[in-house]
Amino acid sequence: MSEVNYLLSVSWGYIKFKRMLNRELTHLSEMSRSGNQVSEFISNTFLDKQNELEIPSPTLKSRDRKRRQQQLMTQISGVRKVTHGPVLSSSCSTARFGVKTDLEDLLSKDLEDINKWGLNIFKVSEHSHHRPLTCIMYAIFQERDLMKTFRIPVETFVTYMMTLEDHYHADVAYHNSLHAADVAQSTHILLSTPALDAVFTDLEILAAIFAAAIHDVDHPGVSNQFLINTNSELALMYNDESVLENHHLAVGFKLLQGENCDIFQNLSKKQLQTLRKMVIDMVLATDMSKHMSLLADLKTMVETKKVTSSGVLLLDNYTDRIQVLRNMVHCADLSNPTKPLDLYRQWTDRIMEEFFHQGDRERERGMEISPMCDKHTASVEKSQVGVQRILHIHVIPCGTRSTL
């Protein structure tokens, strides 16, 4: 009976959240044309509307296309062979930062903030010769002693991270290795919040930081809906369900099979199975259309949980623990508005550039242009205000409530 009551509570919580969000969106859309675009963007992005759609029967043309693509389904697109040469040397900079750099003093100064919210990832990128993900992950793993705990060879770790970073696209304005590094460092900070002190195991911490690192690998700079609307190979591969998130997972795990890339080679079979399950759960949770259900579930769970006298959240089963971890990585993924203003402005410029690039592609194809993607009508300033309003009401609580 208690399980039934819990499910009813979660369901009712989700309904209440949708009603609240819809009221906000209605108010926003009535304010101006830009407000209407922001409203459409939020609705299309954060609400999973798949169950509300009428799906037409597949046409003969689409069935033929699917058959032609069948031979490619056993391969993972986007995975390519890359070479870095010797990734390690005897230099001090490599030993300290995981990357070769002649700007060691500047990078060292940047990384003094590795345990602080608002680290300047743009400076880290500049001073690491545009290897922010490799550098940040190396620093985090050293800080948390994860390489020693899980017996990860340093050269293998650096080789994998450089290979992973090379599979992020530098020509994509927002969803690149800078963003991945920022999310990984933000996840590292969230894992250290007092309310979660000593709550998670080393394996769970390893899984969360790894999930953050791979969560957008090989991102093409367009949305799931664009891939679905254009009948892309990825949409066919993953049946229109969390297309990009499934692809990021496939690429991230596939790269472990590369030469000297298996950073989990010394994990037991059970550890590896557990880690893989957790990483899949966390990366799939970064699908923005799942946001409202994630937040509703988290709020319901936190409200029913007890805390110790020291304020530490008690999470005594896997379901609760992975629920917090899913929301944590998702929250880190959306954390730009909580960073120092100069950093937030740079992220805003980048995401709008990416949106406008998608809009240009949609215009060229004669497609309906997605909300906030039309450079001729979208207002960057008003979009920031609108999105920030929704984030403060519906996203920021994801972090504050999960950390009490």
What six digits make up the tokens of 28?
Answer: 């926003």
- Dist. CA 133–CA 323, nearest whole Å: 25
Burial 306-330 (b: 16+ CB within 10 A, else e): eeeeeebbebeeeebbbbbbbbbbb
Distance CA 197, CA 300 (A): 21
Q: Which residues contact 264 (CB under 8 A, 6 or more apart)?
A: 150, 152, 256, 271, 272, 275
Tokens in use for 17? 């959240």
Paired tokens of 194: 């007092």
Tokens found for residue 399:
């972090």
Q: Is 43 annotated as a binding residue?
A: no
216 is an annotated ligand-binding site residue:
yes
Helix 154-166 / helix 132-143 crossing angle, nearest 10 deg: 150
Amino acid identity at 57: S
177 is in an annotated binding site: yes
175: annotated binding-site residue? Answer: yes
Residue for token pair 């960073």: 339
Could you tell me if 291 and 330 are in contact, meaning their C-beta atoms sit under 8 angstroms apart? yes
Residue among 224, 121, 233, 222 nearest 181 (CA): 121
C-alpha to C-alpha distance for 25 and 46, rounded to whole angstroms: 12
28: Cβ–Cβ under 8 A, 6 or more apart, which residues? 35, 36, 38, 39, 42, 386, 389, 390
Distance CA 395, CA 180 (A): 19
Structure tokens at 22: 């819809």
Q: Which residues are catalytic?
A: 175
Indicate the SS3 state at residue 186: helix
Q: What angle do the packed helices 202-214 and 177-190 form, to 10 degrees?
A: 160
Question: Looking only at Cα atoms, what is the longest distance across the chain?
Answer: 64
For residue 333, say whether it is annotated as part of any ligand binding site.
Answer: yes
Residue type at position 325: L
* 384 marked as binding residue: yes
Q: Which residues are part of a known binding site for AMP? A: 175-179, 216, 333, 384
Q: Which residues are part of a known binding site for Zn(2+)? A: 179, 215-216, 333
Q: Which residues are part of a known binding site? A: 175-179, 215-216, 333, 384
